[in-house]
Chain A
Amino acid sequence: MNALFLVVFLISAALVAIRDPASFLPALLTGAGKAVTICLSLAAVYAVWMGFLKIAEEAGLLRAMSRGIKPISKKLFRTEDEKALEQIAVNLSANFLGMGGAATPAGISAVRLLGASKQADYARAMFFVVNCSGLQLIPSTALALRVQAGAENAYSILLPVYLSSLAALLIGMALVMLGYGRKRT
């Protein structure tokens, strides 16, 4: 990201200097102003969702989901390691419910714990790819930005989003199975 930032910034700045040097500083300030606007809308989104998700967590919904996920992930990740399965379950359910903050630490320790399993490469790859599909019950950020942009039907994206995430999940899982072989230990 650092290299990308540097290269794009320098090339853009050079082009602006050639075409219209007076618009350089206004462009920077407009950009920063947009960041402020986005963060304000995000503050509203996070206030609503993180408050709500905390209630869901305290009501035991996260734990209930983790219990449901465990048997499936045992098969999918080909591991018997109880601790790893625990972390995977927390990570996947937190991601699904849109609690990125709770998901990441669990995900990191899941990757570490999977390293000790017999098919470590397969398990880690599968876990990473499943994580990257980004399947989510409510894509709250996108929905909120749509509402703020004046969408008449902000929810019209739900079905395409589900289908698209599901496609990413299935394609990714198939590719991991192909790449790391089907065999079981």
Chain B
Amino acid sequence: MSWTLYILPVLFAVVLIIAAVRKVKAYDCFAEGVKGAIPLLYSLFPYIAAVSVLTELFEVSGLSDGLRRALTPAFSALGVPKEIAPLFLIKPFSGSGSLSVLGELLSNYGADSYIGRCASVVYASGETVFYLSAIYFAGVKDKKPTLPVLIAFAANFFSAVLGCLFCRIL
């Protein structure tokens, strides 16, 4: 898998060369782009904080263990490690929530472990379906987007299960 190590350096080099050819002020642009990160973080932190507080409480209360035990048969039938169940549950609702759950899983089990890799794949593939539907269909008043949401949810669920399988064989 060592070829993947070259993707990023090559990508950066190619883009910078194209930018140079087109006389883009790379330094100014870079700084300009970073400027956009500040409002983004500013708007993200409150939600991440809320969800992190909640997940910690969820963990300490033992509720998380209980839920995990209840869901273990279903998830193990699908070949998904039971530790990732919380990520599966929060992923459709909240991007910042799944982010904080991913951070937790990576620091608890290690990024190179099977669980860590599965969690990364589940996080990185697929979107926060319900959140996106709220934003995209907010202006559509004539019809509720039930069918599209169900389809997207099902597609993402199956692909996440597949992702765990790919982690095992690749």
**Which A positions have Cβ atoms within 8 angstroms of B?**
1, 4-5, 8-9, 11-13, 15-16, 19-20, 23-24, 27-28, 30-32, 34-39, 41-43, 46-47, 50-56, 58-61, 101, 104, 107-108, 111-112, 115, 121, 124-125, 128-129, 131-134, 136-139, 141-142, 145-147, 149-161, 163-165, 167-169, 171-172, 175-176, 179
A19 and B61 in contact (CB under 8 A), knowing A42-B41, A111-B136?
yes
Binary interface encoding of chain B residues 13-40 relative to chain A, with 1 for a CB under 8 A from any of its CBs, else 0: 0011011001011100111111011001
Q: Summarize A's interface: helix, strand, loop or mixed.
A: helix
Contact B121 A164 (CB under 8 A): yes
Task: Note all chain A residues with C-beta closer than 8 A to B16.
Answer: 55
Chain B stretch 94-149: residues in CB contact (< 8 A) with chain A: 94, 99-100, 102-104, 106-107, 110-112, 116-117, 120-121, 123-127, 129, 131-133, 135-140, 143, 145, 147-149
A28 and B116 in contact (CB under 8 A), knowing A39-B44, A164-B126?
no
In addition to A54-B33, A111-B137, A138-B11, 19 A-B residue pairs with Cβ atoms within 8 Å of each other are: A1-B93, A1-B131, A12-B57, A35-B48, A50-B37, A51-B34, A52-B30, A108-B136, A111-B140, A125-B148, A128-B137, A132-B126, A142-B102, A142-B123, A145-B102, A153-B1, A163-B162, A165-B124, A172-B151
* Least distance between A106 CB and chain B CB atoms (Å): 11
Contact A141 B99 (CB under 8 A): yes
- Determine which of A53, A145, A156, A161 lies in contact with B163 in the assembled complex, contact meaning CB atoms within 8 Å: A161
Contact A125 B110 (CB under 8 A): no
- Determine which of B36, B107, B155, B167 lies in contact with A172 in the assembled complex, contact meaning CB atoms within 8 Å: B155
Considering the complex, give the chain B residue whose CB is closest to the CB of A121.
B143
The count of chain B contact residues (Cβ–Cβ below 8 Å) is 92
Considering the complex, give the chain B residue whose CB is closest to the CB of A166.
B159
B71 within 8 A of A: no
B152 within 8 A of A: yes
- Determine which of A15, A164, A169 lies in contact with B62 in the assembled complex, contact meaning CB atoms within 8 Å: A15
A132 and B121 in contact (CB under 8 A), knowing A39-B45, A155-B7?
no
Task: Note all chain B residues with C-beta closer than 8 A to A111.
Answer: 136-137, 139-140
* Least distance between A159 CB and chain B CB atoms (Å): 5
Contact B54 A47 (CB under 8 A): no
* Least distance between B149 CB and chain A CB atoms (Å): 8
Interface centre among B12, B15, B120 (most CB of A within 10 A): B120
